Amino acid sequence: MRVLVVPEGSEKQGRTQDLTREGPEVEGESKKKRSKKGVPLEERRGERMSQSGTGGGGGLRSSGSMMTSSSSSSSSSYSMFLSSKGLKLERMPTDGNCLFHACSLQIYSSSDYHDVLRENVIKHIEANRDTYEVFLENGESWEDYLARKRRLGVFGNHVEIQAICELHSRPFVIYTPQPPYTPVNVGHDEYDGFPIRLSYEHGNHYNAVLKPDEPSFGAGLGLAGLDVGLADRTQVEESKKLSDLSVAEDAIRLKLQAVSDLEATERDALQAVMEESKIGMSGGGDDELQKVLEMSRKEAG
């Protein structure tokens, strides 16, 4: 059991709860959503956000030392452990944006969109003020907190992790390089998307943990569930539509060409009549003119 640390006066003050689930990474278990009967969603959010130490962001409370890592841990042993699970550690820049780099890589397939993810996360927090404002501390105003968190280089922490859970309907699995490397599972009770995996190191840095054989890129981008192969099928359908359109266009062009050829034939016939007319006129004979007029009427008919 862990005691929730919340601002004085909060309606959640004094409540205790097991905030995270330590143990093997949840594989498939989250595909069937579970619920805590009688516990409102907002309360569960608050409980999870009070979990201990998943990042230093300042201005938001955290307690305990569950997520602290030991610098003396062997990185090679840690890498071997991850490898045995089919996982790969991907190091992120140490620029203060590491959480957003690591999550962006697993959402957008590139860590370069960390700024886009940060802005979306802060907008989500801003839109859910009642949920998040109670975790401000040190007298920081709501507006100051939002402005600070929007700045590039400001650390993200467990509150932003919770917001990403909600925003993309994806749980988190967070490892630390400290034996026995037991991961912390966050959000598996509510969200059934592919998990975002992180490695929390040195007490202030996040790296990405990837599972190469899992098609997680793009999951949670406004879609409740990722349809693997949808892009390929869409491309085939679009190609077929373009092919059908091309056939229709060819048919229209052939029809127009036929009309054009007919008009050309009629123009040639009229030209011939006019030439015959000129010949008759030059002969000066009424009989010849009459013949030309008769021929013209026949052609017109």
Can you read off the two tokens belonging to residue 205?
């840095």
User: What are the angstrom distances between the C-alpha of 227 and each of 104, 221, 288?
Assistant: 20, 12, 82
Told to judge if 202 belongs to the known catalytic residues of this protein, a careful annotator would answer: no
Told to judge if 98 belongs to the known catalytic residues of this protein, a careful annotator would answer: yes
Between 114-127 and 98-108, two packed helices, what is the crossing angle to 10 degrees?
100
Residues with Cβ within 8 Å of 132's Cβ and at least 6 positions away in sequence, in order, are 49, 125, 159, 163
Contact 278, 271 (CB under 8 A): no
Can you read off the two tokens belonging to residue 20?
């995270």
Between 230-283 and 286-300, two packed helices, what is the crossing angle to 10 degrees?
160
Neighbours of 227 (CB within 10 A): 9
Residues with Cβ within 8 Å of 5's Cβ and at least 6 positions away in sequence, in order, are 50, 61, 62, 63
Which residue is catalytic, options 144, 158, 205, 286?
Answer: 205
Told to judge if 95 belongs to the known catalytic residues of this protein, a careful annotator would answer: yes
Which residue is catalytic, options 95, 144, 244, 250?
Answer: 95
Q: How far apart are CA 210 and CA 87, in angstroms?
A: 6
Q: How far apart are CA 269 and CA 298, in angstroms?
A: 11
Catalytic residues: 95, 98, 205
